[in-house]
Structure 1
């Protein structure tokens, strides 16, 4: 692509963000004779029409939550979006094999990456690029958000932050009550489970390819169900099976389902308000939730070395 003017949308509270990195990004574009503006998403709103008319591309410097915020504003727009990973997990960056080096990532974005229409998920009114989780993982997200808001200490080391996150998941799992979930399509029951993850990409929860054959270029989600879970050990065992034996279980409908639209509710309507769902690591709401695949919903700058690009 020929870039003349770009917008850097950044989140100063993302795990690996720093003013030094932002300064480097601006210096990089200045050396390339590319005009660059910045927008702090904690202080400014994103004006879709203005961005579409003023810039050649948007670069999101933040984590998965920041990227989710941006795509929900720029969904259905033609402007290409690139992700500069500065969060704790950075799932889309893993999917796209974006380099860890900021210099290399910027260079690849302007010299190598191609604009491609990708599919997004939509959970009720919220769009997502990675996944929607219903049950335990949404409960963990809710409690982690509350913990972060109440904490005055910011963890700058990303590895320390990720380990802390994993330990908190194990601790919170012990407190969670597993409800019976029902997944339906066209008012017909598909399956029941204790935990459901509807994924649009390969990775989940970090560098774990729980959905190894998945892609945002596909027309269907890959859906992982956990049917027998009563505590921490059951959940961990189920995840380990997904990681180690995915080839054995990938075509087993008791573990993985492929579909483009499902509705998830509690088997008991009175408990819907007690069961949360999250999108891309951000708490969204409670059940019921209708989840559908929206094809060609967003233009992303994609690494052609790792995506089979069928589009020009």
Structure 2
């Protein structure tokens, strides 16, 4: 079990999960309460190489996305204690957001295979985005998350919106399943692998994390009222005049000038960039009732 105890709730969550998992009879071969979040990737990679048959991560979407490079196409399943601000990956996988429920899920040990997105050489679970999404990630400071919790997303989005400059992009499809497309005056282009992102927004009404597809969302620049309509539509999966959806297995995004790419809350790449599906690349412990593409109860 590897937990970032430096996070907003990490210390208390680590102590509770440690006691609860032991009460439930889950054998823990090693535990790592990390004070330094930068050690997360090396710790998980070392644990995977050491022969552990399950790795439990305590963290949010950024923590999960950062370690899937270590776990992709490996026979080591991932279990999750959702400790983040949004917990969109946990929502996609129907993992309870309360620690007792998450520990009970781990005890059940029901394992499924799901897809990962691949942005260049970087795997991700939820979504990669160009435009305001990257600007929101840059505005999301640890202090903001710590003090306002889930409200950090709308606060950071408002700050990013007023600083945003519309951009143009060209989308090309190497599999030939769509004609190449060019857009101008854009707010954002996102490439989703999972069902949820951004605190419960839907990639598409019928999106899933095990459908061998990426859901591209192109959002045109508009005023605040139009942006509010877009946000409401993303929460419900409804369409909007400002939004266009494209489903594909692979896409390349070129922009007017190099722009940063936000991957699950962290800016780790830039355009131009290629995206594709990594089919059944990650093993995840989920509730036995999990069914991809369905809303959690």
Q: Do both share a fold (TM > 0.5)?
A: yes
State how far apart, in whole Å, the 1-side matches of 2:182 and 2:111 are.
Answer: 37
Aligned to 1:241: 233
Match of 1:166 in 2: 154
Please tell me whether residue 295 in structure 1 is matched to residue 291 in structure 2: no
Secondary structure of residue in 2 paired with 1:13 = coil
Deviation digits for residues 196-247 of structure 1 (CA, Å, limit 9, x no counterpart): 11111221211233423111111111111113x145443332222344562x
2:265 corresponds to: 281
Seen in structure 2, the aligned counterparts of structure 1 residues 154 and 175 have a Cα distance that, compared at 3 Å, is closer
SS of residue paired to 1:197: strand
Distance (Å, rounded) in 2 between the aligned partners of 1:136 and 1:286: 13
Aligned to 1:306: 290
User: Which residue pairs with 1:46 in the alignment?
Assistant: 43
| Deviation (angstroms), 1:189 | 1.6
Question: Within 1, Cα distance between the matches of 2:47 and 2:104?
Answer: 26
Q: 1:234 to 1:182 in 2, by over 3 A?
A: farther
Partner Cα distance (2:76, 2:209) in 1: 18
User: Quick one: distance in 1 between partners of 2:44 and 2:17?
Assistant: 22
Q: Distance in 1 between matches of 2:265 and 2:229?
A: 22
Please tell me whether residue 34 in structure 1 is matched to residue 27 in structure 2: yes
Structure-2 separation of matches of 1:154 and 1:141: 11
- Aligned match of 2:130 in 128, 134, 142? 134
Matches within 5 A, 1:156-305: 156=146, 160-186=148-174, 189-192=180-183, 194=186, 195-227=188-220, 229-244=221-236, 246=238, 249=239, 255-266=244-255, 268=256, 271=257, 273=258, 275-305=259-289
Q: Distance in 1 between matches of 2:218 and 2:77?
A: 33
Specify the SS of the correspondent of 1:88. coil
Which residue matches 2:90? 93
- How far residue 129 of structure 1 moved from its aligned partner, in angstroms, is 0.6
Q: CA RMSD in A?
A: 2.6
Cα gap change, 1:15/1:289 in structure 2, threshold over 3 Å: closer, same or farther? farther
CA distance in 2, matches of 1:257, 1:80: 31
Could you say which structure has the larger radius of gyration? 1
- TM-score, structure 1 as length reference: 0.81
